[in-house]
Structure 1
Amino acid sequence: MDNVAAIILAAGKGTRMKSGLVKVLHPAAGRPMIDYPVTAARTAGATPVVLVVGHQAEAVQEHFRAAEDIRCVIQKEQLGTGHAVACTREALAGFDGTALILCGDTPLLRAETLEKLIGFHRAQRAAVTVLTATVKDPSGYGRIVRDDSGAVLRIVEQKDAAPEEQALREINSGIYCMDAAFLFENIGSIGSDNAQQEFYLTDLVAVAVRKGLTCLALCCDDAEEIMGVNDRSQLAEAGRILRRRTNRELMLSGVTIIDPDQTYIDDGVAIGADTIVHPNCQINGRTVIGSGCVIENGVTISNCRIADNCHIKAGSVLEDSELHEAVAVGPMAHLRPGTLLYAHVKIGNFVETKKVVMGEGSKASHLTYLGDAEIGRDVNIGCGTITCNYDGVNKHRTVIGDQVFIGSDVQLVAPVTVGRNSLVAAGTTVTIDVPPDSLAISRVPQVNKDGWRLKKK
């Protein structure tokens, strides 16, 4: 939509969070909660987006440092919502259109609802339109007072409400559309004669009514959308609702989620059709999973790219890794950042990798550590193999060529290279490069002392 600017109020500390982190940067379903109203406003067509920041302003500004359409203004003293909006006057100087005013602690708000609000506001040519909801328990919220025609007369905060007003169940969401000219011409006229001694943005409704301008309310279809997050309990509830939405969208797109209530998938994760996700999985960050995969019980995946037909077995942990087609991992494997597995690689139980590239068809089936290594195609890594990559000061690299066979209980002391088609015998400690097509073996000769046990007895 043209000529829409968003103002998002994000200056508060969030005292009830009892945290050293400003409230709006607390994550909900994998993203700081401020991201959600910003994204909703952008999707609804708002540009620019002006953030009113205060407590830990630098942290909030840094979070959006790369966003060209976001402007931050600082509210040095938190004197109420009216004062916060007044701080944006200079940032929006010359703007002529609709001001969309949101709260930074409403992560459940949908872009579709904002589009509907803006459309309604413009169609009715209102000066002020407030988004509302009707709830069973309105405690803590401002109440909407309407006249007989349905127009809004005023919004009264609970602490200032008379008993008959407290009985009203239509509540203020703190989300508004306002004509920008009306907003900035009148924002300086509101006072602080109320129980909190703050400048309430809601007082602009009474100003508009006195001037004979149209003030309307649009009731939100889903009251949970306007839920504000003020404490850790509400944060957890918001996260639960966001994950429920994500899981539903994924299932409707063809993903099987065995138990959605016990599956924790972050907002923004992409999963292809016919992938099966078992319970108690956590899939986080910028993860992309292809089609036809199986993600077994208790898997944690963070910021990974996983191609089609991969099988991630129970209890495995994958971080910042890339898997090509038909890779099998686990159970109980740990892929640390920098792991790249080409097609048909197998990583078995209790195998740990870090900054490893494994070529197509290679396998490390169990009880192995591979760090800072480049491994070719069709390589067998035997049980108990270790790349000794750290000398106490620096990390060193191991290179293993194509079609190498590494026996069990081998230590590869980096930096070291094993040439293609070589065999490293079980129990060998490799300290020098192995040429291609060679056998490497380093063992202390075995000595049998006949009768030794009988003599000791």
Structure 2
Amino acid sequence: MTSLPSSRPATAVLLAAGLGTRMKSSRPKAMQTLAGQPMLAHLIASAAEVFDRLVIVVGPDMDDVAKLAAPFPVVVQHERLGTAHAALQAEHWFGEGDVAVLYADNPLISAQTLAALLAERRKPGVGLALLAMRPADPARYGRVMTQGEDVTRIVEWADATPDERATDLCNAGVLCAGAADFRKWLHRVGNDNAKGEFYLTDVVGLAVDDGARVRAVEAAEDELRGVNSRAELAQAEHCLQERLRHKAMENGVTLVAPQTVFFSADTALAPDVLVEPNVVFGPGVTVHENVVIRAFSHLEGCEVHAGAVIGPYARLRPETSIGSGARIGNFVEVKSATLGEGTKVNHLTYLGNARIGAHTNIGAGTITCNYDGVFKHTTTIGNNVFVGSDSVLVAPVSIGDHALVGAGSVVTSDVPPEALALGRARQVNKPELGKRFMDARKAEKENG
């Protein structure tokens, strides 16, 4: 947990009941993905570093959101009557310390910013702290009006005067206060507005009216931008990818063309990994030191050990482990397979449900036939095996150490260690039949 200047317990209430209507999606807004993870997952990860307790507010019939929130407690806002009403649904969990209310559609807030918010609230005499930003285009954001270091009010854009609109300090909507005060102010929020909803931002005015000092903590626009549409989701993805790229390079990873590489939030790359252009990392990828990921490769749910080379144009699918110093070449797809140290699969190959030993060579065009239409079956290949090009290995099948499979073979039975397997039909040559056949086909084409 991030270091804070007080031992008082702190609770974060995460509002995740939004339907995402503007996204025209059947999925709740909180489940829209950024860098391979739902927006809510990003916010949970940051908040869990700072707050002692998290509680998530969801809408009715949002079982997928509740499942994602586990093991944190979940409460349901049965009627969507506004953000203040949503926060009140979690009142039972406020405790006696500090409470912050966050939004699932503000997924990029860092733990450092949340820690700064909580620290500001805990300064002597501060009753309420809020997050604010200075966006490049303030547009229709509510403006944060200040006098000295204190916030005096939040003015919605529609109600602001020209001078107030000229203020570039904008409200991000995130608030933090002592639990007792937050309860009091939330219960006093009214719904005398065009939508008849209870708005969390009204808490600021109530706090000022009560004589509480309200302070603003500024953070970067990229952290505080809201995500309410597909366009805003794309902007957030861009911001998050930039953050992940910089983090990778700061940790010793070489990105030849950073703007063309896309990460998942959980991508783990060791120092001295080199990533060429146009590489995509799906969820669940771990890459060890001195690995080279060549251009146009796609990795997901896999582990690549030290010194391996992947690609170009390779695809590593879930449950795959590539051994140290192994080579996965162009147009090779590997799924649910383990490859031993120094094994080479250089061209045009599919390996699914395979267990392959060390220093084995898999020739171009080889495939493992792992699926019979109902069940998946395993192909086991030992150490120092040579599988010739264009071979078909029909699982379940095992090939022993130091065995050799002749090119073009269809292997349906186990191959003993050190054996030569030839599983192809005997070649028969018919003199002149080839030319006569082609001449006949050409004549047929000419005659229509």
Both structures adopt the same fold (TM-score exceeding 0.5): yes
- How far the C-alpha of 1:267 sits from its partner, in A, is 1.6
Secondary structure of the 1:274 match is: coil
- How far the C-alpha of 1:449 sits from its partner, in A, is 5.4
CA contact (8 A) 1:284 1:303 kept: yes
Secondary structure of the 2:92 match is: coil
CA contact (8 A) 1:154 1:202 kept: no
- 1:82 paired residue number: 84
CA contact (8 A) 1:363 1:380 kept: yes
Q: Find the aligned partners of 2:435 and 2:287 in 1 and give their Cα distance.
A: 62
Q: Find the aligned partners of 1:447 and 1:369 in 2 and give their Cα distance.
A: 25
- How far the C-alpha of 1:388 sits from its partner, in A, is 2.6
What TM-score, normalized by structure 1, do the two folds share?
0.88
Matched, 1:52 2:57: yes
- Which of 27, 38, 45 is residue 21 of structure 1 equivalent to? 27
- How far the C-alpha of 1:91 sits from its partner, in A, is 3.1
- Which of 294, 310, 313 is residue 312 of structure 1 equivalent to? 310
- 1:392 paired residue number: none
- How far the C-alpha of 1:55 sits from its partner, in A, is 5.6
What TM-score, normalized by structure 2, do the two folds share?
0.90
Q: Find the aligned partners of 1:8 and 1:283 in 2 and give their Cα distance.
A: 28
CA contact (8 A) 2:41 2:68 kept: no
- How far the C-alpha of 1:448 sits from its partner, in A, is 5.1
Matched, 1:157 2:156: yes
- The code of the aligned residue for 1:87 comes to Q
Once the two structures are superposed, the pairs formed by residues 28-107 of structure 1 within 5 Å of their partners are 28-44=34-50, 46-54=51-59, 56-65=61-70, 67=71, 70-92=72-94, 95-107=95-107
Secondary structure of the 1:409 match is: coil
**Superposed CA RMSD:** 1.9
Q: Find the aligned partners of 2:365 and 2:206 in 1 and give their Cα distance.
A: 72
- 2:145 paired residue number: 145
- How far the C-alpha of 1:41 sits from its partner, in A, is 0.9
Q: Greater shift after overlay, 72-81 or 188-197? A: 188-197
**Identical counterparts, % of pairs:** 28
Change (3 A) 1:449 1:184: closer
Q: Find the aligned partners of 1:96 and 1:234 in 2 and give their Cα distance.
A: 36
Q: Find the aligned partners of 1:73 and 1:54 in 2 and give their Cα distance.
A: 8
Q: Unpaired segments of 5 or more residues in structure 2?
A: 371-377, 440-448
After superposing on structure 2, the runs of 4+ consecutive aligned residues of structure 1 that deviate more than 4 Å are 446-457
CA contact (8 A) 1:29 1:240 kept: no
Change (3 A) 1:375 1:192: same
Count of equivalent residues: 423
- 1:113 paired residue number: 113
Secondary structure of the 1:261 match is: helix
**1:416-450 Cα distance to aligned partner (Å, 9 max, x none):** 3111110013xx25xxxxxxxxxxxxx44x55556
- How far the C-alpha of 1:325 sits from its partner, in A, is 0.4
- 1:299 paired residue number: 297
Q: Find the aligned partners of 1:406 and 1:453 in 2 and give their Cα distance.
A: 29
Once the two structures are superposed, the pairs formed by residues 31-430 of structure 1 within 5 Å of their partners are 31-44=37-50, 46-54=51-59, 56-65=61-70, 67=71, 70-92=72-94, 95-146=95-146, 148-220=147-219, 222-320=220-318, 321-336=320-335, 338-370=336-368, 371=370, 372-389=378-395, 397-413=396-412, 416-425=413-422, 428-429=423-424
**1:331-389 Cα distance to aligned partner (Å, 9 max, x none):** 110002x1100101111211001010001111112001023201111111111111234
**1:54-85 Cα distance to aligned partner (Å, 9 max, x none):** 165211011233x2xx1111111111111111
Change (3 A) 1:454 1:60: closer
- How far the C-alpha of 1:125 sits from its partner, in A, is 3.2
Secondary structure of the 1:333 match is: strand
Change (3 A) 1:257 1:452: closer
- 1:438 paired residue number: none
Q: Find the aligned partners of 1:311 and 1:255 in 2 and give their Cα distance.
A: 15
Secondary structure of the 2:42 match is: helix
Secondary structure of the 2:266 match is: coil
**1:286-322 Cα distance to aligned partner (Å, 9 max, x none):** 1110111111110000011110000012111001200
Q: Unpaired segments of 5 or more residues in structure 1?
A: 390-396, 430-442
